Amino acid sequence: MAPVLALVGATGAVGGVMIDIMDARRQFPWGEVRLIASARSAGRKMTVRGQELTVQALSPEAFDGVDIAMFDVPDEVSKEWAPIAAARGAVAVDNSGAFRMNPDVPLVVPEVNVAKIHDRPLGIIANPNCTTLSMMAAMGALHREFGLLELVVASYQAASGGGQAAIDRLYAELDAVHGKQVGVRAGDVREAVEAAGLPISDSPFPAPLAMNVVPFAGSLKDDGWTSEELKVRNESRKILGIPDLKVSATCVRVPVVTTHSVAVHAVFEHAVTVEAAHKVFAAQPSIVLVDDPAAMRFPTPADVVGEDPTYVGRVRQALDFPNTLDFFVCGDNLRKGAALNTYEIAEALVN
Amino acid sequence: MAPVLALVGATGAVGGVMIDIMDARRQFPWGEVRLIASARSAGRKMTVRGQELTVQALSPEAFDGVDIAMFDVPDEVSKEWAPIAAARGAVAVDNSGAFRMNPDVPLVVPEVNVAKIHDRPLGIIANPNCTTLSMMAAMGALHREFGLLELVVASYQAASGGGQAAIDRLYAELDAVHGKQVGVRAGDVREAVEAAGLPISDSPFPAPLAMNVVPFAGSLKDDGWTSEELKVRNESRKILGIPDLKVSATCVRVPVVTTHSVAVHAVFEHAVTVEAAHKVFAAQPSIVLVDDPAAMRFPTPADVVGEDPTYVGRVRQALDFPNTLDFFVCGDNLRKGAALNTYEIAEALVN
């Protein structure tokens, strides 16, 4: 019998992308797709592959007969409900932060460590954070070839990493500053945004994002590091299987709707050249190499949004560091960074 | 007799900021201020410290009697005219890229290496590139205390680094995308901008900048590096006096009008802590430390634009690299990054 797939969080920003991905899939191995959301959204009709489905309220019974349940919900909801889904016999593929660093939960990027899906004592598989995922296809491919030792990264993260409310906020702020020659005096962007009835205290971001960049994403952890920066470090180590990988990350929000970019400085064990790296990228089906700066060809988030692959460009051999590459990578944080990778894990489970 | 100061490029974006700085200066040691620009702008009236001045056309005679001539003009204009000014007896303080790496021209950031102004065999002193300058007060202070060895930086550069045309372009692109829910499909920002009669081929930027980031600034040099990235490396080495400083830079343009930001990963010879770095920053008059992430206090470019000091925050001790700090710095690229530092060099020459 064809397996049953549940999507928990069907009505969210990532849930919508998940349905787009299912609609576009050529092969579709699922017998039934079950849409699940909070009680507030239950009863809503949504169309998947031409079929109208009714969203069900989250309940233990909703998982009866489900083979794989993909979760895209807040950490605390996953924490409670992924084990319930697993207890009812489903494999939970979870895109929250609740289980990623749990040693009994594999953290999977199919191109990098698909074999780990079989080692899931809790019946739960975790999907990495979107910033980590944006660069992981590239890092996995390079690590296999050259042996990764150190990673210094700075991110250019899109608003939609914060969900639909964050997308709405960026558009509202862009409206608020429109037609005003702001960005020329300290605080004038903040004033224009607040004057439009958009106090920063109501924002998902801790500062104005329109015509600005905000060097803080996630929540504050020990010693001044943010949750987002620690996720990049700890999840990269776990996915790549390099427990002592040296990582420093600075995570910065930029006024882009969707698609995270990362400036990467990566030090390897073995000698590496731009040509050798190009070969590695070109051989990876989930990577598109756009690296011809003489023709002004390099990835930018506005040209990558909505695309499945990771885009890589500006590959340079470091001038002063041995065995080191600097490059720039763009990945749609809602697709490979969230919905697509989760769905690819589900696909890997049935294949 | 009070010295005579000339401003060459008085009608440009940096020239305007230069006049703002002169207007606001408490002490003003100059006897005469002479405004100089291209023949096209000659005859224009501009007010400096309440006095109406007529812009003079660039000519050898325009430098007669001038003690210090500040240049903010394109490289090729500086290359021709700074030596002419010097031959007429002026000290040329040049903000172009024409002389920065010339071994007979000092490259000066007053907080870091002011003594170098006396060693000017060609009568020319160079002002660093705006991206380098944005972080140099901070790097100089840290280097004196801890001994800088390595620098990995990623920039978030404002449009105005490209001059007035670049500022106008960003506002025009923001107009073009306004009210459209773009940034959701590959290329939709590009299409909206081009549909508004703003072809990318006419832009100072090689890709749309509104709702995007562009990982390319300056021109293409050897091995995939940009002029901007090489300036950060080579000028940092020269200013700090560390010829073998290891540097990797990735320079990225962001949709901010003015104020460059830089994510810095700096490795030192000696042990360093966040507390020790805070002390160093707090002791430097040209640095404002804004580093209380628990209260969501950190620098952002929209809160720093128009300010003279360099703002530093998000200071963290690297978790995996010894003697290493990660931090975020914002500096107004038209002020400290251009006009202010040039003017401070002129002031140092008369003091």
Q: What is the CATH number of the domain that holds B34?
A: 3.40.50.720
**Does residue B330 have an active-site annotation?**
no
Neighbour tally for A40: CB within 10 Å: 10
Contacts of residue B194, defined as CB under 8 A and 6 or more positions apart, other chains included, come to: B200
Residue numbers in A near B300 (CB within 8 A): 207-208, 212-215
By the CB < 8 Å criterion, does B173 face chain A?
no
User: Do A276 and A146 fall within a single domain?
Assistant: yes
User: Do A326 and A345 fall within a single domain?
Assistant: no
How many residue pairs bridge chain A and chain B with CB atoms within 8 Å of each other?
Answer: 233
Quick check: is B254 in a domain? yes
- Residue burial B195-221, b: 16+ Cβ < 10 Å; e: rest: eeebeeeebbbbbbbbbbbbbbbbeee
CB contact under 8 A, B245 and A215: no
CA A17 – CA B206 distance, rounded (Å):
30
Q: Which pLDDT tens digit goes with each residue over B275-302?
A: 999 999 999 999 999 999 999 999 999 9
Burial class (CB in 10 A: 0-12, 13-18, 19+), A116: buried
Q: Which domain holds residue A225?
A: 132-161+215-331
> Could you say which DSSP state residue B2 is in?
P
Q: Pick from B253, B261, B259: which is nearest to B210 by CA?
A: B253
Binding residue per annotation — A9?
Answer: no
- Is B251:B232 a contact under the CB 8 Å cutoff? yes
Residue numbers in B near A319 (CB within 8 A): 223, 225, 233, 247-248
User: Do A154 and A198 fall within a single domain?
Assistant: no
By the CB < 8 Å criterion, does B278 face chain A?
no
Binding residue per annotation — A266?
Answer: no
Quick check: is A209 in a domain? no
pLDDT tens, residue order, chain A (351 aa): 899 999 999 998 899 999 999 999 999 999 999 999 999 999 999 999 999 999 999 999 999 999 999 999 999 999 999 999 999 999 999 999 999 999 999 999 999 999 999 999 999 999 999 999 999 999 999 999 999 999 999 999 999 999 889 999 999 999 999 999 999 999 999 999 999 999 999 999 999 999 999 999 999 999 999 999 999 999 999 999 999 999 999 999 999 999 999 999 999 999 999 999 999 999 999 999 999 999 999 999 999 999 999 999 999 999 999 999 999 999 999 999 999 999 999 999 998
Q: Which pLDDT tens digit goes with each residue over B136-170?
A: 999 999 999 999 999 999 999 999 999 889 999 99
User: Do B177 and B192 fall within a single domain?
Assistant: yes
By the CB < 8 Å criterion, does B179 face chain A?
yes
Residue numbers in B near A176 (CB within 8 A): none
Quick check: is B210 in a domain? no
User: Do B37 and B172 fall within a single domain?
Assistant: no
**A17 → chain B, closest CA residue:** B184
- Is B258:B283 a contact under the CB 8 Å cutoff? no
Quick check: is B302 in a domain? yes
Structure token digits, residue B272: 């360093």
CA B330 – CA B311 distance, rounded (Å):
5
User: Do A140 and A275 fall within a single domain?
Assistant: yes
Q: Which pLDDT tens digit goes with each residue over B21-71?
A: 999 999 999 999 999 999 999 999 999 999 999 999 999 999 999 999 999
CB contact under 8 A, A319 and B248: yes
Quick check: is A210 in a domain? no
By the CB < 8 Å criterion, does A144 face chain B?
no
Distance from CA of B65 to the nearest CA of A (A): 35
Binding residue per annotation — B100?
Answer: yes
pLDDT score of B313 more than 90? yes
User: Do A266 and A146 fall within a single domain?
Assistant: yes
- Is B248:B152 a contact under the CB 8 Å cutoff? yes
Residue numbers in A near B299 (CB within 8 A): 215
Q: How many domains does chain B have?
A: 3
Can you give the C-alpha Rg of chain A in angstroms?
21
CB contact under 8 A, B213 and A252: no
CB contact under 8 A, B233 and A320: yes
User: Do B142 and B283 fall within a single domain?
Assistant: yes
User: Do A323 and A277 fall within a single domain?
Assistant: yes
Question: For residue B153, what pLDDT is reported?
Answer: 98
Which of A183, A248, A313 comes nearest B305 by C-beta?
A183
Quick check: is B207 in a domain? no
What ipTM was reported for this prediction?
0.96
Structure token digits, residue A301: 């988030």
Element (H, E) at A250: strand A246-250
CA angle B248, A301, B171 (to 5 degrees): 95
Question: For residue A37, what pLDDT is reported?
Answer: 97
- Is B100:B238 a contact under the CB 8 Å cutoff? yes
CB contact under 8 A, A186 and B303: yes
Neighbour tally for A348: CB within 10 Å: 17
CB contact under 8 A, B248 and A214: no
